[in-house]
Amino acid sequence: MTTVLLMGPPGAGKGTHAGHLAAHLGVPVISTGDLFRRNIADGTELGKTAQGYLDAGEYVPDEVTNAMVRDRLADAEARPGFVLDGYPRTLDQARVLDEILGAQGRSLDAALVLQVEAETLVDRLLRRAEIEHRSDDTEEVIRRRFEVYHEQTAPLIHFYSGRGIHHEVDASDDIDTVRTRVWQVAVQLKPAA
């Protein structure tokens, strides 16, 4: 079983590499951003709650996000492990995640932080805006998302480094190069059976 999370600023490539890594490990990706977007597209109550926050570049309240992730982690699908993309993003979420996993008799193996300099991130997000038309990929909202990341999520790096499960990955190069780096970290976690 491998339980990993990917952290990093908006545009760092969390979604891309969470997908690759999960496929390698044979476990599901749990992406809070994707779950919110799917709920918005489906017009669910959860989606209605989340929409305003996403459009403003703010975080959805912890109790809403934590409840959604709690459900996902209880699924049979997540029993062999998981790759978390975009969760936890606050200290409260990190503590709740510990609680959920502890109650299941497991814990987090690794927190991977994807590192990319700010200029590259803005370029990537503006390019993605042209392709995906995400409502939160406008210049103004992107700026706010960076602020929120630095205020609320960057402190989590200390939370996980204090526990010795934090790994930095240089994510500024092309996708294949970064994928190899991510995989090198994952391989160290679990020696081949």
Ligand X SMILES: Nc1ncnc2c1ncn2[C@@H]1O[C@H](COP(=O)(O)OP(=O)(O)O)[C@@H](O)[C@H]1O
Question: In degrees rounded to 5, what are phi and psi of residue 10?
Answer: -55, 135
Is 134 catalytic? The answer is yes
The distance of closest approach from Cβ of residue 102 to Mg ion in the complex, given in angstroms and rounded to an integer, is 27
Amino acid at 85: D
In the complex, the residues that contact Mg ion under the rule CB under 5 A are 14-15, 33
Question: In degrees rounded to 5, what are phi and psi of residue 118?
Answer: -55, -40
Q: Which does 181 bind (CB under 5 to 8 A by kind): ligand X, Mg ion, none?
A: none
Is 48 catalytic? The answer is no
Q: Which of residues 65-94 bind ligand X (CB under 6 A)?
A: 65, 86-89, 93
Of 2, 3, 25, 59, the residue at the interface with ligand X (CB under 6 A) is 59
State yes or no: 115 annotated in a binding site: no
With CA atoms as reference, report the closest residue to 59 among 132, 126, 151: 151
Q: Which does 32 bind (CB under 5 to 8 A by kind): Mg ion, ligand X, none?
A: ligand X
Q: Is 79 helix (H, G, I), strand (E, B) or coil?
A: coil
As a whole number of angstroms, the distance between CA 137 and CA 36 comes to 15
Catalytic residues: 14, 89, 128, 134, 145
